[in-house]
Amino acid sequence: MSWIPFKIGQPKKQIVPKTVERDFEREYGKLQHHVKICREDILGLTLQSPL
């Protein structure tokens, strides 16, 4: 007889409050914005630097 230490089946869907979801989306949006600005800065510097 085999012993299975965990339940086989569908994982439970995690319930996330809407406020947490919105906070995450807002913070993730800010991060994406900063990444975009940094990329533009880097591209600008590489295009302007003399070879």
Which residues span the domain enclosing 47?
A: 17-51
User: Model-level pTM?
Assistant: 0.50
The whole-number pLDDT of residue 44 equals: 81
Has residue 11 been placed in a domain? no
Other Cβ atoms less than 10 A from the Cβ of 49: the count is 7
Has residue 10 been placed in a domain? no
Where b means 16+ CB within 10 Å and e means fewer, 2-38 reads eeeeeeeeeeeeeeeeeeeeeeeeeeeeeeeeeeeee
pLDDT along the chain (51 residues), means of 10: 67 80 92 90 72 53
Domains identified in the chain, total number:
1
The 3-state DSSP class for residue 22 equals helix
The whole-number pLDDT of residue 13 equals: 74
Has residue 2 been placed in a domain? no
